[in-house]
Structure 1
Amino acid sequence: MLPKLTFIHAADLHLDSQMEGLTAAYPAMKSRLQDSTFQSLKQLVQCAITNKVDFVLLAGDIFDSNRQSLKALVALREAFKELQKHSIDVYMQYGNHDFTGKKPMMKYTNNVHIFQSEKVDTFFYEKNGEPAAAIHGFSYTTRHIKSRKALEYQSKGDGIYQIGMLHGSLGTGSAADVYAPFSVDELKQASFDYWALGHIHKREVLSEQPPIVYSGNIQGRHRKESGEKGCYLVELEGQSCAMTFLPLQDIRFETVDVEVKEGTALYEVEQAVLDSCINWEDAFGEAVLHVIFHGPAHLLMRWSQEERLEELLEIINEQQQNLGSQLILAGFSVQATIDMKEELLLERNDFTAALYTTTYSENEMTHSLEELMGNRQFRKIKQSYSQEELQEMLEEAKQLLLQTLLEVE
C-alpha cells in the first residue's frame, strides 16, 4: 500500500524582486516591500516545519533574475539549511526568469535536488527506507522554451507516486507560446498523481483528477498581483489528494474603490478615504493599496491633471503613518463618468463623435510601446504589459481625450 505523503507545492518566489508602482510610498515602506519576498520565504520554511512535510517542491522562478544577488542566494541557502535540520527534502527547478546555462553560484545542502537541464529528469524520494515517489521535472537554460515539454514526462518506478513539476503556460497555438506550452489533456495522458505547476502568478486548479495546480507566487509584487499569496499543502494517500492553501505573503496588494459624487469637495474625499482606511486595515492587515476613484469626469479629470489626487494620497499616507497604520496608498487611477449620454454622442456627426467610435487595438498599442520597451533602463522596471494592462491604458487614454474635447467645445 502506498504511504501517505505530505508536501508543499510552491513556485515563483521571485526573490529580490523589484517592486512596481511605489511612487507614493514613503521610504520605510519601500524598504519593507523590497524585503517582502525574503520574509515570505521564511514563512514558507516555517509552514513546512510546522506541518512536518516530507518535502518541498519549488516549481521555477525561485529568483527574479538569472543574475542572482548574493543576498538572494544566501537567503535560499539558509532556508534550505533550516529545512535540512528537520529532514525535509527540496526539489527545485529553474524557470524563465532564473534560467541558468552555467554552474550555479551557490552550493546548497544535500537535502536539495535541482533539475539541471532542459531534459526531463527524475528524482526518487524514499520514505521509511522504501521508494515512495518519482518526482519529474526540468529547468530552463534559456529564457524561452517553445517545445512541448509535457510530452516528455513518463512514469518511472512501480507502485509509487508519480509527481510532475512543470514551469510553463497553457498553449494558445500562437507565437506567444514560448514558456513550455502544454494542454491539460497532455498532462492527463501521463497518468501522474499530482502536477505542480509554476509560471502563472495566480493560483488555479486546472484539473482535480488528477490534480493539475498552479500555486501562484508567494508574495505579490504590484497591484495586479492582489489578494492572498502562498503555497499549497498537499496530502497524497493512495488515490486521494487533499490540498490546503497556506497564505505566505508578507504584505498584500489590494485595489479599493472610492465613490465621488457631483459637487463633492476635495476635503470631503480626504475624509471619506481616511474613514475607509479603518475598514481596509481590518480586512487586509498590512497592505499596499491602489485606489480607484469613480465619479464625474469633469471633477476627477481636473483633480488628476492638477495632481490634486496624487497630493491627497501623500497627505493621507503621512496621516496613516503617524497613526501607526499598516496601510500604504501607493497609487490611483480614475474611472470617470462622461457628462453626456452615449446615444446622444453617437448621433452627432463631428470630430468628437468620430473619436469616440474609433477603435485603437492592443496590437497598435503594443507597436507604440516598442521603442519604450526597447530601452534597457525601462526594462529593469517593466518587462512586458499584459492584455489587461493594455486594455486599461487604452480605456484611460480614450476617456481622457474625450473629456478634454468636451471641455473645450
Structure 2
Amino acid sequence: MQTKITFIHAADLHLDSQMEGLTAAHPTMKSRLQESTFQSLKKLVQSAIDNKVDFILLAGDIFDSNRQSLKALVALREACRELQKHRIEVYIQYGNHDFTGKQPIMSYPDNVHIFKTEKVETFLYKKNGEPAAAIHGFSYTTRHIKSRKVQDYKAKGAGIYQIGMLHGSIATGGAADIYAPFSIDELKRAGFDYWALGHIHKRETLSEQPPIVYPGNIQGRHRKETGEKGCYLVELMGQSCSLTFVPLQDLRFEEVAFDIEEGSALYEVEKTLMDLCHKWEKAFGAAVLHVTFQGLAHQLIGWEQEDRLEELLDIVNEQQHSLGSQLVLASYSVQSSLEVKPEQLVARSDFTAALLTAAYHPDEMRKSLDELMRNRQFRKIKQSYSDVELQEMLEEAKQLLLLSLLEVE
C-alpha cells in the first residue's frame, strides 16, 4: 500500500511584483501592499512547517520577471533555508514570467530541486528512505511555449505516486495557445495521481479524479484579482486525495459599490462611507478596495470634475489610518445614470444622432482610437493605464457627452 504523503501546492507567487491601481491609498498601505508578496511567502513557509508537510510544489512564476530583483531571490533562498531546517523539500519550475533564459539560477540549499530546462524531467521523492513519489515537470526558457508538453510526461517507478507540475493553460485551438497548452482529457490519460498546475491566478479544480488543480496566486496584485488568495494543502493516501485551501494573502483586493442618494451633501456621503468602511473591514479584514460610486450623472460627474470624489477618498483614508484600520479605499470609478436615455436624444436632431452614433458604435469608436494611437504623446499616456481604467474613462466620456447634449438641448 502507498504511504501517505502531505504537500503544499502553490503557484504564481510573483515575488516583488509592482501593484496596480493604488491612486488614493495612504502611503503606509502602499508600502505594505508592495511588501505583501513577501509576507505571503512567509505565511506559506509557516503553513508548511505547522502542517509538517513532506514537500512544497511551486508551479511557476515564483518571480514576476525573468530579471528578478535581488530582494526576491534572497527572500526565496531564505524561505528554502527555513524549510530545510524542518526537512521539507521544495520543487520549483519556472513559468512564462520568470523564464530562465540565459540568466544564471541562484544557488539554493540542498532541499531545493529545480526543473531547469523545457525538457520534462523527474525527481524522486523518498520518505523514510523509501521512494514515495515521482515528481515530473519542466521550466520555461523563453516567454512562450506553443508545443503540447503533456505527451512527454511518463510515469516512473512502480507503486509510488505520480505527480505532474505544469505551468500552462487549457488549449483553445487558437493563437492564444502559447503557454504549454493542454486538454483535461490529455492530463487524465497520463494516469497521474495529481496535477499541480500554475499560470491561472484564479483558484480552480478542473478535475477531482484525478485532481487537476490551479491554486491561484498567493497574493492579489490589482483590483481584478479579488478575494482570498493562497495555496492548497494536499494529502494523498492510496487512491484518495484531500484538498484544503490555505489563505495566504496579506491584503485582499475587493470591489464594492456605494449608491449615493439624489441630493445628498458631500458631508453626508463622507459619514455614510465611514460607516460602510467599518462594515467592509468586518467582512474582508485587511483589504484594498475599489469603490464604484453609483447615482445620478449630473451630481456624480460634477463632483468628479471638481475632484471632490478623490478628496473624499483621501479624507476617509486618513480617518481610517488614524483609527488603525487595515482597510484602504485605493481607487474609484463612477457608474452614473441619466433621466434621458441615449436613444431618446438621437431622435432630437441629426447632429446629436451623428455624435452619439460615433460615441456608442464600437466600429466608430475604434476608428477614433486608431487615429489617436498615431499620436506618440497619446501612446505614452495610454501605457500608464490598465485596460480596465481605459474602459472606465471611455464610459465616463460618454456620460459627459450625454450631459453636455442635455444642456445644449
TM normalised by structure 1 equals 0.91
Alpha-carbon distance between aligned partners in 1 of 2:374 and 2:127, rounded to the nearest angstrom: 53
Equivalent residue letter for 1:86: H
User: 1:135–1:165: 8 Å Cα contact kept in structure 2?
Assistant: yes
More displaced stretch, 208-217 vs 338-347: 338-347
Q: 1:346 to 1:371 in 2, by over 3 A?
A: closer
The equivalent of 2:12 in structure 1 is: 12
2:171 aligned partner: 171
Question: Is 1:360 the equivalent of 2:368?
Answer: no
- Cα 1:406–1:119 change in 2 (3 A) is farther
Tell me: CA distance 1:125–1:407, structure 2 relative to 1, closer, same or farther (3 Å).
farther
CA displacement at 1:294 relative to structure 2: 0.8
Structure-1 residue corresponding to 2:157: 157
Change (3 A) 1:369 1:393: farther
Distance 1:290 1:178, change over 3 A: same
Distance in 2, Cα, partners of 1:175 & 1:65: 23
Letter in 1 for 2:55: F
Task: Name the amino acid aligned to 1:331.
Answer: S
How far 1:27 moved relative to its partner? 1.8
Q: Is the 8 A contact 1:11 1:215 kept in 2?
A: yes
SS of the equivalent of 1:178 reads: coil
Counterpart CA distance in 2 for 1:339 and 1:167 is 50
Residues 6 and 401 of structure 1: CA distance in aligned 2, closer, same or farther (over 3 Å): farther
Corresponding residue of 1:61:
61
AA in 2 matched with 1:130: E
Aligned with 1:48: secondary structure?
Answer: helix
Paired residue for 1:326? Answer: 326
Match of 1:82 in 2: 82
> 1-side partners of 2:136 and 2:200: how far apart?
19
Q: Is the 8 A contact 1:372 1:378 kept in 2?
A: no
Letter in 2 for 1:207: S
3-state DSSP class of the match of 2:21? coil
Matched, 1:258 2:264: no
Aligned pairs (5 A) from 1:1-400: 1-102=1-102, 104-341=104-341, 344-345=344-345, 350-353=350-353, 356=356, 358-360=360-362, 385=387, 395-400=395-400
Distance in 2 of aligned mates of 1:351 and 1:215: 53
- Following superposition, the deviation at residue 305 of structure 1 comes to 1.7
2:172, 2:394 → 1: CA distance? 24
Contact 1:355–1:402 (8 Å) recurs in 2:
no
Deviation at 1:396, TM superposition (A): 4.3
**Match of 2:293, SS?**
strand
Alpha-carbon separation, structure 2, partners of 1:327 and 1:36 = 14
Deviation of 1:404 (Å): 3.7
TM-fit CA distance, 1:35 = 0.8
Report the 3-state secondary structure (helix = DSSP H, G, I; strand = E; otherwise coil) of the residue aligned with 2:197: strand
Cα deviations by residue, 1:207-255 (Å, 9 ceiling, x for unpaired): 1111111101101111111111100001111111110100000111111
Secondary structure of the residue aligned to 2:362 is coil
**Letter of the structure 2 residue corresponding to residue 142 of structure 1:** T
How many residues end up aligned between the 2 structures?
A: 405
TM-score normalised over the length of structure 2: 0.91
Structure 1: state its 5+ residue gaps.
none
Cα separation, 1, equivalents of 2:17 and 2:57: 20
Greater CA deviation, 397-406 or 68-77?
A: 397-406
After superposition, the Cα gap between the structure-2 partners of 1:303 and 1:37, relative to the gap in structure 1 and judged at 3 Å, is same
Q: Distance in 2 between matches of 1:76 and 1:373?
A: 40
Q: Which amino acid aligns with 1:190?
A: A
SS in structure 2 opposite 1:236? strand
**8 Å Cα contact 2:373-2:379 kept in structure 1:** no
Q: What CA distance in whole angstroms lies between the structure 1 residues aligned with 2:390 and 2:151? A: 33
Classify the secondary structure of the residue corresponding to 1:142: coil
Query: How big is the shift at 1:128?
Result: 1.9
Assess, with a 3 A threshold, how the Cα gap between structure 1 residues 408 and 347 changes in structure 2: closer, same or farther.
closer
Contact map agreement 1:254 1:290 (CA 8 A) in 2:
yes
Q: Cα distance 1:261–1:68, how it changes in 2: closer, same or farther (>3 A)?
A: same
Q: Is 1:6–1:55's contact at 8 Å kept on the other side of the alignment?
A: yes
1: CA distance between counterparts of 2:300 and 2:345? 21
Cα 1:281–1:395 shift into 2, 3 Å: same
Distance 2:342 2:379 in 1: 39
- Matched-pair contact (CA < 8 Å) for 1:60–1:92: yes
Name the amino acid aligned to 2:93.
Q
Structure 2 contact 66–101 (Cα < 8 Å) conserved: no
Conserved? CA contact 1:352–1:402, under 8 Å: no
Identify the range of structure 1 (42-51 vs 248-257) with the bigger mean alpha-carbon deviation.
248-257
Residues 397/142 of structure 1: CA separation in 2 closer, same or farther (3 Å cut): farther
Q: For the residues of structure 1 that align with 2:188 and 2:71, how far apart are their CA atoms? A: 39
8 Å CA contact retained: 1:2, 1:159 = yes
Alpha-carbon distance change, 403 to 123 in structure 1, aligned in 2, over 3 angstroms: farther
CA offsets per residue over residues 26-79 of structure 1, 9 Å max, x none? 222111111111010000000000011110000000011111111111110010
Which digits, 9 at most, give the CA deviation of each residue in 1:366-400, with x for residues without a partner? 96769889979986x67x74xx7776565444444
Q: Deviations for 1:291-345, whole angstroms, at most 9, x for unmatched residues?
A: 1111111111111122110111001111111111111111100111122146645
User: What is the identity, as a one-letter code, of the residue corresponding to 2:361?
Assistant: T
